[in-house]
Amino acid sequence: MNPRTVALAFRVVAVAEALSWVGLLAGMYVKYVPETSEVGVQVFGPVHGAVFVAYVVVTLVAARVLGWSRWTTLLALAASVPPLATVVFERWAGRTGRLAVPARA
């Protein structure tokens, strides 16, 4: 697999996972606070579930292709649990070179 493609896929899926969290949280708010509609949860629940699974798969692929340590891999996987943490991890990984692709010689 091309490391550049894997790094880009990780960045895209990390942001998508965070956005799906926002949609699900908004849907849960509408469902439980004003108690007006369940549509948000019905839509964003499955979307978030699918994107969450995609994030886990892409994280494991990125860890292997980009040579992440176990600690970095566990941190990336743990970032999928709290809302918006995948974006925080993605920014950190970019800053620390974990998403950098070495230049060809």
- Res 103: pLDDT: 61
Q: Could you read off the pLDDT tens digit of each residue along the chain, which spans 105 residues?
A: 899 999 999 999 999 999 999 999 999 999 999 888 888 889 999 999 999 999 999 999 999 999 999 999 999 999 999 999 999 999 999 999 999 876 653
Structure token pair of residue 66: 């980009």
The whole-angstrom separation of Cα 31 and Cα 17 is 21
Q: Note the pTM of the prediction, 2 decimals.
A: 0.90
- Res 72: pLDDT: 97
The whole-angstrom separation of Cα 82 and Cα 36 is 26
- Res 105: pLDDT: 34
- Res 37: pLDDT: 87
Sequence letter at residue 3: P
